[in-house]
Amino acid sequence: MKIRIVAGGPPFLIPDLNSCDSGSDIIWVGVDRGTFVLLEAGIHPKHAFGDFDSVSDVEKEAIIRSGISLNVYQSEKDQTDMEIAFLWAMDQNPDELLLLGATGGRLDHELLNLQLLFNSLEKKDTAVKVVDRHNEITLHAPGTYRITQDERYPYVSFIAYKEEVSGITLRGFKYPLQNAALQMGSSLCISNELVNKNGTYSFDSGIIMMVKSRD
């Protein structure tokens, strides 16, 4: 099972949603205005979460008429609509979870959406990604990982998350590394590229945010 959560980020950053609709086992979920974004794309989400304060009265009426299973919350609460939807999705134990429409716009929401990835580290059987038209963002615990060239995202960056990363080794990259340390705030591993079809990255401690991107 795969879950796609769509929030109401800037339209120019939201990927073509129909290109993300591959397979019969996909569950679409709307978050607030993202629910209307899905309906406009011709996709009928199975669930929707939010206070729906970012849609017009006409858009809200369209959402209500659609027959989607709505989970409506008050505007004043301790969690964002995205966090509520994310935690629900993780409880479903999907093989893959994509967060779309989660970047751009308000920086506080964008940063929180990226930090939600931290809650997925213990779910090793679920691949969680934040995806927009220019980036694919994932979070990783220590280990060894294989990476394949992706023409959609030719640049690969590694960013220390929360603390120093030790023993980082990059093989098959334009700028390889061997047992290096990556500090918080360091640009050491920004804008790298694979020179071979496949490569590997590994590290001994810390947490890494990997950003695959394009201009």
Structural domain count, the chain: 2
> End of a domain among 97, 118, 133?
133
Question: Span 31-36, mean pLDDT?
Answer: 93
Chosen domain end from 133, 161, 194: 133
Please indicate, yes or no, whether residues 42 and 110 belong to a single structural domain of this protein: yes
Minimum mean pLDDT range among 12-16, 61-65, 90-94, 189-193: 61-65
State which of 99, 133, 167 marks the end of a domain: 133
Provide, rounded to the nearest whole percent, the portion of the chain with pLDDT above 70. Answer: 99
Does pLDDT of 182 surpass 90? yes
CA distance 59 to 129: 28
Pairing of strands 155-171, 205-213: antiparallel
Contact present, 99 and 129 (Cβ < 8 Å): yes
**Res 194: pLDDT:** 97
Asked whether the beta carbons of 135 and 211 are under 8 A apart, the reply is yes
Domain of 144? 139-213
Query: For residue 21, what pLDDT band results from cuts at 50, 70 and 90?
Result: low
